[in-house]
Amino acid sequence: MIPLQLTLSGFLSYRDPAELDFSTFELACISGANGAGKSSLLDAITWALFGQARKRDDSLINAQSDAAEVVFTFAYEGNLYRVRRASPRGKTSLLEFYILQSDNLAGSLASLSLRDFNGSWKPLTERTLRDTQALIEATLRMDYETFVNASFFLQGKADQFTQQRPGDRKRILGNILGLEIWEQYRQRAAEMRRSVEDKVSALDARLDEISRELAEEQIRKSRLKELETDLERFTQARLTHETNLERITQIAATLAEQRKLVETLRRQMEASQRQLNDLLARAAQRERERGQHAALLERAGEIEAAYEAWQQARHDLEQWNEVAARFQEQQQRRQPPLDEINAARACLMQEQQTLLVQKDAINTQLAKLPGLQAQIDAARQEHTALETKLARRTELDDQLQAARQRQADAKAENPRLKAEMDELKARIDQLEEAEGADCPVCGQPLSPDERQSLIEDLKTQGRQMGDRFRLNQALLKEFDQTVQLREEQLRELTPADAGLRAVSPVVAQLGAQSTQ
- Average of per-residue pLDDT values in the chain: 78
119 vs 101: CA distance, rounded Å: 5
Q: What is the pLDDT of residue 417?
A: 76
First vs last C-alpha separation in the chain? 121
Q: Report CA-CA distances (Å) from 215 to 202, 208, 212.
A: 20, 11, 5
What is the average per-residue pLDDT within 322-345? 82
Residue 120 has pLDDT above 60, yes or no: yes
Return the ∠ at Cα 489 (arms to 488 and 494), rounded to 5°: 95
Residue 208 has pLDDT above 60, yes or no: yes
469 vs 411: CA distance, rounded Å: 10
Q: Report CA-CA distances (Å) from 69 to 2, 129, 266.
A: 21, 15, 108
Q: What is the pLDDT of residue 161?
A: 47
Residue 235 has pLDDT above 70, yes or no: yes
Residue 499: other Cβ atoms inside 10 A = 16
60 vs 54: CA distance, rounded Å: 9
Q: What is the pLDDT of residue 109?
A: 53
What is the average per-residue pLDDT within 82-104? 88
Q: What is the pLDDT of residue 185?
A: 67
Q: What is the pLDDT of residue 6?
A: 93
Contacts 24+ apart (CB under 8 A), 100-106: 105/78, 105/79, 105/80, 106/78
Q: Which residues are CB-contacts of 500 (< 8 A; sequence separation ≥ 6)? A: 383, 386, 387, 390
Q: Which residues are CB-contacts of 216 (< 8 A; sequence separation ≥ 6)? A: none
What is the average per-residue pLDDT within 99-123? 68
Q: What is the pLDDT of residue 70?
A: 94
The b-or-e profile of 47-57 (16+ CB within 10 A means b, else e) is bbbbbbbeeee
Residue 473 has pLDDT above 50, yes or no: yes
What is the average per-residue pLDDT within 385-413? 70
| pLDDT digit string, tens, across residues 365-388 | 767 666 666 766 666 676 676 667
Contact 154, 54 (CB under 8 A): yes
130, 135, 141, 146 alpha-carbon torsion, rounded to 10°: -20
110 — pLDDT class (breaks 50, 70, 90): very low
Q: What is the pLDDT of residue 182?
A: 65
pLDDT cut 90: percent of the chain above it: 9
What is the average per-residue pLDDT within 242-265? 89
Q: What is the pLDDT of residue 8?
A: 92
Q: Report CA-CA distances (Å) from 124 to 130, 134, 136, 464.
A: 13, 12, 9, 83
Q: What is the pLDDT of residue 226?
A: 87
Residue 37 has pLDDT above 90, yes or no: no
140 vs 1: CA distance, rounded Å: 8
DSSP assignment of 329-360 equals HHHHHHHHHHHHHHHHHHHHHHHHHHHHHHHH
| pLDDT digit string, tens, across residues 140-173 | 887 777 777 665 545 544 445 455 566 665 565 5
3-state secondary structure at position 102: coil
156: left (phi over 0), alpha (psi -120 to 50) or beta: left
